[in-house]
Amino acid sequence: FSKDGNYIFSRDYITTKTWDIRKNKAPVYNVKLCSYLERKLCDLYESENIFDKFELCSSPDSQYILTGTYSDSFHIAERAGASVATLTASFDNPKGTPIGAYSSDVNKKPITLPSFDFNKKIQQVAWHPSSQTVAVVNHNCLFLFNGTQS
């Protein structure tokens, strides 16, 4: 649920959906975050990774959605889909440099991951209730990313 209780966020394997509980016939926003997985669905099914569950949470103002994916990566997306950033959580990328992003309808290109590893996945995510800090779990390591600039 969003903080104001008017929206529910959900995710299937490829997209995230934002539902307005006052208009529940269809999602109000449908953001295709993981289009790169479409061509890997057969591999995911054969390796039984198709059953992986990735958590989803929202920012304190409910304008952004956070969810994990494969290859030690995670997405932060505007709930309407106008901007998406994909970052990695690994010791090779200690400052969380974005590996892919788009920020306008004109420049929307599918995000591709530089390498693809089904064994490296971020399934647990959390957003701090009052700041722009997110936590993601990669294997047995906790990574914190702060969105404020200094």
- Give the per-residue pLDDT at 59: 92
Residue bearing the bigger pLDDT, 87 or 135: 135
Per-residue pLDDT for 43 more than 70? yes
Query: Closest Cα partner for 71 from 58, 59, 54, 84?
Result: 54
Q: Are 76 and 69 in contact (CB under 8 A)?
A: no
- Give the per-residue pLDDT at 53: 87
- Give the per-residue pLDDT at 19: 92
- Give the per-residue pLDDT at 120: 84
| DSSP assigned state of 39 | G
Percent of the chain with pLDDT over 70: 82
> How are beta strands 29-32 and 64-68 bridged, if at all?
unpaired
- What predicted TM-score, i.e. pTM, was given to this entire model? 0.78
Q: What is the mean pLDDT of residues 13-20?
A: 87
pLDDT in tens, 45-101: 887 877 888 889 999 998 999 998 888 888 888 888 777 778 888 776 555 554 444
Q: Are 109 and 100 in contact (CB under 8 A)?
A: no
Confidence of residue 20 (pLDDT cuts 50, 70, 90): very high
Q: What is the mean pLDDT of the chain?
A: 78
